[in-house]
Amino acid sequence: MATLLSVNVGAPKDVPWQGRTVHTGAWKSPVQGARMVRRLNVDGDGQGDLAGHGGEIRAVLVYQLQSYQYWEKQLGRDDLTFGIFGENFTVDGLPDDEVCIGDRYRIGEAEFEVTQPRVTCYRVGMRLGEPTMASLLVAHHRPGFYLRVITEGHVQAGDEIILTRKGPEELSVADTDALLYLPDRDPAKLRKALNIPALSPGWRQSFNDLASAQQPTQEPGWPGERAGSQQPREASGWPGFKAMQVTRIVPETPTVASIYLSTTDGTPLPEARPGQYLSIRLAVGDAAPAVRSYSLSSAPAADTYRISVKHEPHGKVSSYIHATLHPGSLVDIAAPRGAFVLEAGTRPIVLISAGIGATPVLAMLHHLAATRDPRPVWWIHVAHDRAHHAFADEAHALLGQLPQAHEHIYFTAEAPRRDEPYVTQGRPTASSLVAMGIPSEADAYLCGPLAFMDDVGGYLRDHGLSPERIHTEQFSALPAINPGVTPAAAVRPHQPTGPTGTGPLITFARSGITTPWSPAHASLLDLAEACDVPTRWSCRTGVCHTCITHLVAGDITYTTPPLELPEEGTVLVCCSQPTTEVVLDL
């Protein structure tokens, strides 16, 4: 019979790690006597990062004596004391390949239900001083598991663990873990997992994604982030960069110009999805070539792409484009990519933009007009004034081709004319969006400054649109995902400190940084962090795929082989190094 050997607790504390501070509850130690287990915690215990750990579904973490003994041999350690794996209950028995999701157990006065395997997290490696531990737990099928508290009560070391009910489908913790993190998934087991009511919502969503033939967009258990902000996973139209020719440059406003691009040999271009962007590489001055990304601003013809670039007063690349490029210029272009794309369907469409943020939603409008899409469309755009209202006539004409179009323009510094009933001075508000009659079941696409998207996205959610139907595009670096790391003052991306590397050039395209590789960095993620480029990660060992990033150009090698390779054209930056010059969409 299984037995509770130790009850372990620990309050969250700040721990120094790689020059940063991590707020974590991973440091747990045994306690004597009975402890009350409540709906969210064992008394005296806590979690530093409630996004990925803790809460009602993950109230208690369990790890087994037999796994301790296994790791002592594997790691050559004799110092693995109970609680070091971050568990609340150290148990004798309950192996991961026998315990099933949905099983219920009585321990002392309390009753528990198994909800999910352990979340892959770098902090278990941090606690043990074994950086690859998160990967090892999955690869060796020894993750441990979480419990939900069904009945609160006291527990203590020595209590017997009694099975009170078997979970439906009898899918083991080890098999559930492998379904998410390892290749060659069994479709029958995937169906079983989705039929278990006790399975945690985060894992259920990931399995739903897999059942829809999609990779999960983020580590299960982490909070949902702004739709469209995940790194996309699709194959490129061509590898790396290829030379394209500028065929036309058209001024749109005093600060915006449209650049028309075609192939140098007249070969057809792959069709981009409405909303995607191009990465452009330019030799600007004597420094390393600069890489920037610009949204396609129209439906591509078979032989032409169009991007539209705003001249930023201190922008090195935009200044070069406006002052130097001319018809006939050759530029290096990477294939269209991006996940902010117009989705097929029957729901109404809302396209909302501010300033140069009009470009990707304008491409969507082109597509809707070209296909005579019958869906109702709301076009909402904010500009400073009439002179700086890019694509005004173009968008107005496209809307005229649609059967159910609604146009709403806002000027922040100019009043409307009498013949412009669709123009308002000011900015969109919650009440004005309601007055437009936008249906709550609509799909909304937002692009503009971050504060603008946050405000308008909030108005739409309050109006009844579900968060997963509010899609946003951010031109700059994506928001960081650094679980548990104590927030610090934002620092603009910069060259790394220390001796200059002598290896191939690494470019972080969204952040505008190009720097030589140095073997002083353990991975591309490590270099990005040294440059204060916003990064996204969880396990740091190639398991969770949170760090997946578009590889715009170049080749890499994996220092720790991922348990499952990412899709073509993407890379796991947490465990990879360059073998050639590399351009990353970071």
CB 182 within 8 A of CB 564: yes
Is pLDDT above 60 for 231? no
Long-range CB pairs of 19-24 (<8 Å, 24+ gap) are: 20/485, 20/486, 20/488, 21/485, 21/486, 22/48, 22/123, 22/126, 22/484, 22/485, 22/486, 23/48, 23/49, 23/484, 23/485, 23/486, 24/48, 24/49, 24/123, 24/126, 24/484
- Residue 372: the pLDDT is 93
Q: Poorest-confidence range of 59-63, 315-319, 323-327? A: 315-319
CA nearest neighbour of 49 among 123, 151, 137, 107: 123
Instruction: Count other Cβ atoms within 10 Å, centred on residue 138.
Output: 25
**DSSP symbols for 272-333:** PPTT-EEEEEE--TTSSPEEEEEEB-SPPBTTBEEEEEE--TT-HHHHHHHHH--TT-EEEE
Q: How far apart are CA 305 and CA 263, in angstroms?
A: 9
Give the closest residue to 391 by CA, choosing from 273, 310, 303, 321: 310
Give residue 213's pLDDT. Answer: 60
pLDDT mean across residues, the chain: 91
Q: Residue 228's pLDDT is what?
A: 36
pLDDT at 15: 94
pLDDT in tens, 4-53: 999 999 999 999 999 899 999 999 999 999 999 999 999 999 998 887 78
Tell me the whole-structure pTM to 2 decimals: 0.81
475 has pLDDT over 80: no
Helices in 500-540 by DSSP H: which ranges?
524-530
Q: Assess whether pLDDT exceeds 50 at residue 222.
A: no
Q: What mean pLDDT comes out for the span 503-517?
A: 92
Confidence band of 419 (pLDDT split at 50, 70, 90) = confident
Q: Residue 584: its pLDDT value, please?
A: 93
- Rounded average pLDDT over 76-102: 97
- Structure-token match 């606690």, residue found: 127
